[in-house]
Amino acid sequence: MTNLTSFTIADARDKLAKKEFTALELTNAHIAAMEKAKALNAFITPTPDIARARAKESDARLQAGKAGALEGIPLGIKDLFCTEGVQTTAASHILEGFVPQYESTVSQKLRDAGSVMLGKLNLDEFAMGSSNQTSYFGPVKSPWKAKSLADDLVPGGSSGGSAAAVSGYLAMGATGTDTGGSIRQPAAFCGIVGVKPTYGRCSRWGVVAFASSLDQAGPMTRTVRDAAIMLKVMCGHDAKDSTSALLPVPDFEAALGKGVKGLRIGIPKEYRPDGLNGEVAALWDKGIQWMKDAGATIVDISLPHTSSALPTYYIVAPAEASSNLARYDGVRYGQRVEGKSLDEMYGKTRAAGFGTEVKRRILIGTYVLSAGYYDAYYLKAQKVRALIAKDFTDAFEKVDAILTPTAPTAAFGLNDKQDDPVAMYLNDVFTVPASLAGIPGASVPAGLNSDGLPLGLQVLTKRWDEETLFRVCQVIEDAAQFPFLKVPA
Ligand code: GLN
């Protein structure tokens, strides 16, 4: 019999409707796969009992003809989304044991659509990282292996558990969050699709905050269609998040299949720096050819402030993080280490509760916000951020979408780059500009390098134009015929 974990969300949706199998059977197949793949460490908190109970409810609704848009579809939820009654850690020791009394808007919407939560997925601590190595609960391993390296590989980050679970067939889809690339880069490393929608498309309510002006939720799936199906459910206005957009939700799935004929695709010269990895550059050229073959016009463009994006991000994001993380004080959430005074308790709790990378960000953030340096760093960064956003606004006068590589390299070994934060930050060089501009971006698996590892292409469009984004993504998907991992027996 076909392993039920092999289906896409779209296929499973149809087969559940035709009663070819039940939601409980589909869920049990995924729970079995999770058990077998424990060594990947993709989940911090598996929730098999909740999954089975929700699958049974789904079967009843399917039976009654009352199926939701994701009825019976087993999904993983990044452990940054608060889930009612289920521990939510943000992969930090400081939140260990925190059980929210409420559900994030995005996970609630997925639940209301009938999806089945398999568990809470591992991530970098407070979503700070590009390799999932900063998790207090241990690193996630990618299900992929390099031909040349015996070591395990990182899945990317911060949504590394999500990427590993979806590419390894432990979940049909997963939620991710992207502040500077945390959906797109792990999607590229693990050979799956990841979509960061326009800032404001998905409610941030109930998502543990990292950098509030950048954080966005989005879907991670094996196909473009599945991402369109999931995103439609996840987004929409929410009165509980003042930055969530009061806009109707388009039918993203309906945009698929329209192709790119007549579209103008921009190729930014700043994304081809000297020394760009040859295989990444070659795949990008291939993507450009696919666009031409499908009837698009290629336009060379310039995004002149690109080289300032990374330093700008690493001022803005830590500044916001240092403020957001002030709430973890041993009084309101999770861990507490007693001291002789209130100040000592705060200090001891935060010293014991936060990991090294989180402490580094808090230090950077408080420094750039401090009275003496605010103008020189934070205010300057805000001005540069506006210029970066304007680069895109100007570019979208000339083009409908932009095509770039997602990441400068393929996945690296679990033991690499550990001690070099700046080398780690360079992973985000192609994803961060779109985050600062608030525009939508997606990564589509486009091919393998000579070491047998996935490489992704990134598509960017203007604000609120996810429909064009999906059209371009699907053309890449169709042309790439990406060799997915085999479904484990
Ligand atoms: N890697 C980036 C960082 O460490 C992005 C993280 C994210 O998007 N959450 O900040």
Return the sign of the alpha-carbon dihedral for residues 132, 378, 458, 115: positive
Catalytic position from the list 78, 109, 417, 462: 78
Mean residue pLDDT of the chain comes to 97
Query: What is the atom index within ligand 1 of the atom nearest the CA of 361?
Result: 10
Q: Of 55, 29, 45, whose CA–CA distance to 77 is shortest?
A: 45
- Residues 6 or more apart whose CB falls under 8 angstroms from that of 156 comprise 130, 131, 132, 142, 163, 185, 186, 187, 188, 189, 190, 407, 411, 427
Please tell me if the CB atom of residue 129 comes closer than 6 angstroms to any atom of ligand 1. yes
- Residues 6 or more apart whose CB falls under 8 angstroms from that of 471 comprise 255, 256, 258, 259, 260, 263
Return the structure tokens found at 184: 């797109």
Distance (Å) of CA 229 to CA 69, 255, 433: 8, 11, 26
pLDDT digits (tens, 9 = 90+) for 69-80: 999 999 999 999
pLDDT digits (tens, 9 = 90+) for 391-447: 999 999 999 999 999 999 999 999 886 678 887 888 899 999 999 999 999 999 999
- Residues 6 or more apart whose CB falls under 8 angstroms from that of 291 comprise 260, 265, 298, 403, 472, 475
Confidence of residue 333 (pLDDT cuts 50, 70, 90): confident
User: Ligand 1 centroid to 138 CA: how many Å?
Assistant: 17
Cβ burial, residue 332 (10 Å; 0-12/13-18/19+): exposed
Q: Is the Cβ–Cβ distance between 348 and 373 less than 8 Å? A: no
* Other CB atoms within 10 Å distance of the CB of residue 396: 20
Per-residue pLDDT, 420: 80
User: Ligand 1 centroid to 321 CA: how many Å?
Assistant: 11
Please tell me if the CB atom of residue 127 comes closer than 6 angstroms to any atom of ligand 1. yes
User: Ligand 1 centroid to 214 CA: how many Å?
Assistant: 10
Query: Mean pLDDT throughout 168-175?
Result: 98
Query: What is the atom index within ligand 1 of the atom nearest the CA of 177?
Result: 9
User: Ligand 1 centroid to 389 CA: how many Å?
Assistant: 19
In terms of pTM, does the model score above 0.95? yes
- What is the DSSP code (8-state) at residue 413? B
Please tell me if the CB atom of residue 320 comes closer than 6 angstroms to any atom of ligand 1. no
Report the distance separating Cα 98 and Cα 103, nearest Å: 13
> Catalytic annotation on 292?
no
pLDDT digits (tens, 9 = 90+) for 224-244: 999 999 999 999 999 999 999
Residue percentage of the chain with pLDDT more than 70: 99
Which helix (H) or strand (E) is 176 found in, with range? Answer: strand 173-178
Q: What is the CATH number of domain 4-257+443-456+470-480?
A: 3.90.1300.10
Confidence of residue 334 (pLDDT cuts 50, 70, 90): confident
* Other CB atoms within 10 Å distance of the CB of residue 339: 14
Residue percentage of the chain with pLDDT more than 90: 95
pLDDT exceeds 90 at position 332: no
pLDDT digits (tens, 9 = 90+) for 179-221: 999 999 999 999 999 999 999 999 999 999 999 999 999 999 9
Per-residue pLDDT, 418: 67
Report the distance separating Cα 363 and Cα 54, nearest Å: 43
Q: Is the Cβ–Cβ distance between 349 and 94 less than 8 Å? A: yes
Query: Mean pLDDT throughout 369-390?
Result: 97
Query: What is the atom index within ligand 1 of the atom nearest the CA of 317?
Result: 10
pLDDT exceeds 80 at position 2: no
Question: Of 424 and 355, which is predicted with more confidence?
Answer: 355
pLDDT exceeds 80 at position 151: yes
Please tell me if the CB atom of residue 179 comes closer than 6 angstroms to any atom of ligand 1. yes
> Catalytic annotation on 182?
yes
Report the distance separating Cα 168 and Cα 441, nearest Å: 23
pLDDT exceeds 80 at position 487: yes
pLDDT digits (tens, 9 = 90+) for 262-307: 999 999 999 999 889 999 999 999 999 999 999 999 999 999 999 9
Please tell me if the CB atom of residue 90 comes closer than 6 angstroms to any atom of ligand 1. no
- Collapsing DSSP to helix, strand or coil, 220 comes out as strand
Q: Is the Cβ–Cβ distance between 217 and 82 less than 8 Å? A: no
Please tell me if the CB atom of residue 178 comes closer than 6 angstroms to any atom of ligand 1. yes
Per-residue pLDDT, 1: 59
> Catalytic annotation on 158?
yes
Query: What is the atom index within ligand 1 of the atom nearest the CA of 210?
Result: 9
Report the distance separating Cα 13 and Cα 16, nearest Å: 5
Please tell me if the CB atom of residue 146 comes closer than 6 angstroms to any atom of ligand 1. no
Catalytic position from the list 182, 203, 244, 308: 182
